Amino acid sequence: MSYDHRMALPLPGERPPRLLGALLAAAAVLGLCALGCAAPAGSTRRYVSVFQAARFEAHRSQLPRPGDGKAPLSDGAAFVEKALHDAGFRFGTDGSARALWGYLRTSHRVVSPALARPGDILFFDTRGLAPAPDCADHAGIVESVGPDGRITFVEARGGRVRRSFVDPAHPTSRRDGRGEILNSFLRAKSVDDPPGLPYFAGQMLCGVARADRGSAGSIGSRGSDG
């Protein structure tokens, strides 16, 4: 087969070979995309639930840090607040877990730990010092609830996103009879700790809030993230 024959283009009225037609079509598509097939500028992810937003945040390399320095910042509160914002809720706090708890407690719903469901926000008093109802200094987001009531939640603590557990029905138990963790440690033990200091998540759980889209301070669903 000669070089001229291999490179010949079809004459008028002739049908081009299938391979040549496919190559020409591909070139046309690439040319059009080069002229403007990119995604619309300013497009953002959309979420339909708080937990979806939290799952996306958990894959980010850096934790969000809201706040203006006037109140103690919390990894947990920053993580939860960013997930709520990504889920479509619009509000602002000083970056502390206490302020976030105050917003959700007054503008949304407080639910019993026994009624917690995925997407609910858990609040903890890790120091055991704050009086109710301003108890919170840490927060997490419910991932799932087991048939026995044990709650799996996602939290940011110590610069890391973690999966932890809390069992409201057994707050002082570390494990069950099968060795399954019921309550994660939310405080590291120290030789200087006074007697009776709590360490388990169940001992520190002080509130559960549910961010309802129909409540004040939120906006409606913004669709799935596709």
More confident residue, 217 or 190: 190
Q: Residue 99 sits in a domain of what CATH number?
A: 3.90.1720
User: What domain range is 106 assigned to?
Assistant: 50-210
CB 76 within 8 A of CB 184: no
Residue 101 lies in a domain: yes
Look at residue 97 and tell me if it is in a domain: yes
> Is residue 192 situated within a structural domain?
yes
Q: Is position 179 within any domain?
A: yes
Structure confidence at residue 45 as a pLDDT band (50, 70, 90): very low
- Least confident span in 2-11, 14-23, 72-81, 158-167: 2-11
Tell me the C-alpha distance between 97 and 143, whole Å.
19
CB atoms within 10 A of CB 61: 4
Residue 141 or 57, more confident? 141
Mean confidence (pLDDT) of the chain: 74
In a domain, 35, yes or no: no
Do the domain assignments include residue 14? no
> Which amino acid is it at 112?
S
Residue 165 has what pLDDT? Answer: 98
Residue 196, pLDDT above cutoff 70: yes
Sorting pLDDT into bands at 50, 70 and 90, what band is 130? low
Q: Note the pLDDT of residue 202.
A: 96
pLDDT-based confidence at 212, cuts 50/70/90? confident
pLDDT at 36: 41
- Decide if pLDDT at 168 tops 80: yes
Residue 138, classed as helix, strand or coil, is strand
Identify the DSSP state of 96. -
Residue 114 has pLDDT above 90, yes or no: yes
Domain annotation covers residue 16: no
User: Residue 118: its pLDDT value, please?
Assistant: 96
Question: Across 115-192, where does the E strand assignment appear?
Answer: 121-124, 138-145, 151-157, 160-166
pLDDT at 129: 66
Is 28 among the domain residues?
Answer: no
> If pLDDT is split at 50, 70 and 90, which confidence band does 5 have?
very low
- In the chain, the percentage of residues whose pLDDT exceeds 90 is 48
Q: Find out whether 108 and 120 touch, Cβ atoms under 8 Å.
A: no
Q: Which residues pair with 145 in a beta bridge?
A: 151
Count of the separate structural domains present in the chain: 1
Is 203 in a helix, a strand, or coil? helix
